[in-house]
Amino acid sequence: MMISFLGSLPLGTLNVAAMQIGIQESIKDAIWFSLGSLLVEMVYVRISLIGIDWVRKQHKLMKAMEWITLAIIVALAVGSFIAATRDGGGAKNLLLNNDMHRFLLGMLMCAINPVQIPFWFGWSTVLFTKGVLKPKSSHYNSYIAGIGIGTLVGNCVFIFGGKWAVQRIANSQQYLNWIIGGIFSLTALIQFIRIIMKKDALSKFVENKEEPGNIAGQ
């Protein structure tokens, strides 16, 4: 839970999107979005524990997911900038302006973001090595439940923190859209550089296999 909570605090695509949904729609929708994303994250962790060799062989799939993730981050950045220039900054991000249930949207956005796989494979390897995590169903279930709780609490920091800031700053939605657009732009640039320099999730995944002590950042 602590690893997941701390890993959810750095600015990223999912927690910033959850914050934006909480501000422009409702806390309930943002929580649904977070639940959808953490469900997929928990599934990824389960796969990393029992099917790691199969996942590692899916080079083309992982590479495609990297580029799809980049495209979505760029779209979120553009949508945030457009929203900041419309109706005093209160307009929705165009990518989030749809009727899809936020739980399903959270699942979709998390599913195409493979960065969770090397992150949790790295941590799981360390915990296995130190004897903290053991290959038992009871350990796996507790581990995955803790991850889900930690991710939800981490996202709530952004959801409620963003809502609190908006309620206390004049024209805050406009400023926030510009800030969020900048965050997504920076994230997209970093993602692109990692892909070009082969420092993407797939590369980290291979490195973690070769170096059990190496922990990938989320």
**Is 216 inside a domain boundary?**
no
Q: What DSSP letter does each residue of 87-155 carry, written as one string? A: GGGTSPPTTT-S-S-HHHHHHHHHHT-TTHHHHHHHHHHHHHHTTSS-SSHHHHHHHHHHHHHHHHHHH
Contact 154, 5 (CB under 8 A): yes
Chain centroid to Cα 170, Å, comes to: 29
**Is 217 inside a domain boundary?**
no
What is the pLDDT at residue 203? 54
**Is 115 inside a domain boundary?**
yes
Inform me whether the pLDDT recorded for 190 exceeds 50. Answer: yes
**Is 106 inside a domain boundary?**
yes
Domains held by the chain: number: 1
What is the chain's alpha carbon radius of gyration, rounded to the nearest angstrom? 18
What is the pLDDT at residue 140? 87
- Choose the most confident range, by mean pLDDT, from 17-26, 87-96, 120-129, 138-147: 138-147
**Is 139 inside a domain boundary?**
yes
pLDDT digits (tens, 9 = 90+) for 33-65: 999 999 999 988 887 777 655 555 666 766 776
**Is 154 inside a domain boundary?**
yes
Mean per-residue pLDDT, 73-98: 68
pLDDT digits (tens, 9 = 90+) for 130-179: 888 888 888 888 999 999 999 999 999 989 988 887 777 655 666 777 77
Mean pLDDT value across the chain:
76
Inform me whether the pLDDT recorded for 72 exceeds 70. Answer: yes
Residue 200: domain span: 2-210
**Is 108 inside a domain boundary?**
yes
